[in-house]
Chains A and B, each alone.
Chain A
Amino acid sequence: MAARKPAAKAKKPNVSAEELLDHYRQMLLIRRFEEKAGQLYGMGLIGGFCHLYIGQEAVVVGLEAAAEEGDKRVTSYRDHGHMLACGMDPKGIMAELTGREGGFSKGKGGSMHMFSKEKHFYGGHGIVAAQVPIGAGLAFADKYQGNDRVTFTYFGDGAANQGQVYEAYNMAELWDLPVIFVIENNQYAMGTSTKRSTKSPSYWERGAAYGIPGEEVDGMDVLAVKEAGEKAVAHCRAGKGPYILEIKTYRYRGHSMSDPAKYRTREEVQKMREERDAIEGVRSLLLTGKHATEDDLKAIDKEIKAIVNEAAEFSKESPEPALEELWTDIYAPLEA
């Protein structure tokens, strides 16, 4: 799909200016946040691995636009974008990255492990594909409790070759669980391209073996993602069981900050950024549709920059966790 022009530019979108601006704002927040996280990592303020979402913003922003209050989400370790898109406070996320008391997990989880029951975000998981059965379980809880909530279960093309994904597919279809399996196919499992890891050309088609419908989606087009997301959500909410979305996307940065990026060419990345960038796509729609002026967008840029800077400042100023905290939360507190 490398050489195509953004679909968003080509078609006349049936979308309000307000929605487009919101997508723009959300995607930009993720990108700027991640750029800042990369900087803080470079400064030594963030340790470990740090998996940036830059390039994939349209996936989570498009799907969040299709979600309703109470819907759930669970994902892997490339999770900052998902948390921002579901409304978790950027300050708490950044402070978790720096391992501070003010982080979502009080510094005990780090980049890969954050949760927010309030925003229905169930992690942040470090083991490839381990979150997929969890997603099925969240959906099971909703079905059992008799509500019509839907769970977005995100995983990558690498995880799609893990056996537990197919255990979960079978169980989800067997029990008609309201779960959307979202394969974020960014084409590389760390440094291994899908061409070198996977014989079958598509991942979503594997659902057919379990009776699960699905489709491929252009993940560089936020409106296409939203549209597919709405279809999947309607399927799940109607009690028809799971749905698979294979969203073709691309990460611009390395697998993690320590990635030497020797497995693809600079030109490949550059081409993607120039021709398919999701944020540029929406920006162009906003300008050509006269929904916004350059000045309006500059004002949004400024606003986002302020949010991200505030998060970065907070993540530096929040104190290191007290060592007494080591011994808390090993178990949930016993209720009195």
Chain B
Amino acid sequence: MTKPNERKLTIARAMAEATAQEMRIDPSVFVMGEDIGPLGGVYGNTRGLIEEFGAERIRDTPISETAFIGAAVGAAQDGMRPVVELMFVDFFGVCFDAIYNLMAKNIYFSGGNVKVPMVLMTSTGGGYSDGGQHSQCLYGTFAHLPGMKVVAPSNAYDAKGLMTAAMRDDSPVVYMYHKGLQGMGWLGTEAGATVHVPEEPYTLEIGKAKVVREGKDVSIVSCGMGVHNALKAAKKLEAQGVSAEVVDLVSLVPLDRETIRASVAKTGRLIVVDEDYMSYGLSGEIIASVTEHDISALKAAPKRVAFPDVPIPFARVMEQFCLPNPDKIVAAWDQMQAA
């Protein structure tokens, strides 16, 4: 329920609001992507912008991801602050060269002579039977490659602050928003993502994690949709007398290892929840960040709840079986106790 003076927004609206506010004060910001104009973005995050800013600054592109992301790199090196959208993260396959070889490397390659202030927004996540080319998260794929910052908000407050921070950053920021959190009715949405958002512009520091629930028995670390699963699991665990702490990573790169380590130092146990594939990814990185720092902080072997290493299946029963959920997190706790 909305309280008086509360301004609950979806992530989609929070992103659009941040973009509009920045565009009002900075003429070098423009938005480019597929159907981000009159359609307002498939996931609503550019809705209303073309009405205010026109087609010159809210620029629908041909379906030519390599060309428009590459062009954004060029424009960013030349005084502009492009915000570009890769409609689904899964589409990175056709244009990754522009992302990881150009966007991510040109500051370094130039010895700092050029800046690449651009935001690459992209939708992630499944759970709605869209098949394996429209449902991936690929956090690990992007976070693995140096030179770009990567953020993944779990709620509208963070979404707005991160969006403004990303547009003001002189380095490329990959902004990964989860479809299930956007507040799009047709997708089904996570109610916890729609929260109070102040009207005035503000920034959230990129590279800072948040403890979103305090606890003392186990640290559950995740991002995006995983944070909501973790919070629901924490409630279930609370009913069993277990006090779970939940860490929302907010940013994947830079990764706030300090906050993760401090939480685990307090609780002694770690469960990582990741909707991306299990192997070689985020969950392994978080666990390594703790164990290679101080293995004695752990009272039990860490656990991960992640998407198994299979292409994402279409059939609902199969996809839901694979996705992380609160029960799986509780089960991970139980296994930890049984070990």
Contacts and interface: CB of A to CB of B under 8 A. Distances in A.
The answer to whether A and B come from one shared complex is yes
Interface of A: 72, 74, 103-109, 113-117, 122-127, 130, 132-142, 144-145, 163-164, 167-168, 170-171, 174, 328-335
Interface in B111-136: 111-117
A140 B117 CA distance: 16
Given A106-B111, A171-B61, A137 B170 contact: no
Contacts of B80: 140-141, 144-145
Contacts of A142: 78
A260 B101 CA distance: 28
Q: Which of A106, A132, A145, A332 has the most CB of B within 10 A?
A: A332
A74 B106 CA distance: 13
B168 to A, nearest CB: 9
B170 A333 contact: yes
B219 to A, nearest CB: 28
B67 to A, nearest CB: 3
Contacts of B76: 137
A132 B70 contact: yes
Given A130-B97, A329-B112, 20 more contacts: A108-B108, A113-B110, A114-B109, A115-B113, A123-B106, A124-B109, A130-B102, A132-B67, A133-B68, A133-B71, A134-B73, A135-B74, A138-B77, A138-B78, A139-B74, A168-B71, A170-B67, A330-B107, A332-B117, A334-B169
Contact of A167 (B30, B62, B110, B170): B62
Report the 10 A-B pairs with minimum CB-CB distance, sorted nearest first.
A137-B74, A133-B70, A137-B71, A167-B67, A167-B64, A332-B170, A115-B110, A113-B109, A331-B171, A134-B74
Nearest to A72: B78
B98 interface: yes
Contacts of B116: 332
Contacts of A329: 107-108, 110-112
Contacts of A163: 66
B151 to A, nearest CB: 14
Contacts of B188: none
Contacts of A109: 108-111
Contact of A335 (B98, B113, B170): B170
A171 B30 CA distance: 16
B79 to A, nearest CB: 6
A168 B77 CA distance: 17
Which of B66, B72, B97 has the most chain A CB atoms inside 10 A of its CB? Answer: B66
Interface string B157-180: 000000000000111000000000
A127 B102 CA distance: 9
Given A105-B111, A124-B109, A141-B78, A133 B98 contact: yes
Nearest to A169: B67
B303 interface: no
A122 B78 contact: yes
Q: Sort chain B's interface into a size bin.
A: 35 or more
24 contacts: A72-B78, A105-B109, A108-B111, A113-B110, A114-B109, A115-B110, A117-B77, A126-B101, A127-B102, A132-B67, A133-B73, A136-B71, A137-B70, A140-B74, A141-B74, A141-B80, A142-B78, A144-B75, A168-B71, A170-B64, A171-B71, A330-B108, A332-B107, A332-B169
B292 interface: no
A133 B66 contact: yes
B304 interface: no
Contacts of A164: 64, 66-67, 70
B146 interface: yes
Nearest to B113: A115
A168 B72 CA distance: 12
Contacts of A141: 74-75, 78-80
A30 to B, nearest CB: 22
Contact of A117 (B30, B97, B105, B113): B113
A105 B69 CA distance: 24
B149 interface: yes
Given A133-B68, A170-B64, A123 B110 contact: yes
Contacts of A137: 70-78, 82
A83 B223 CA distance: 45
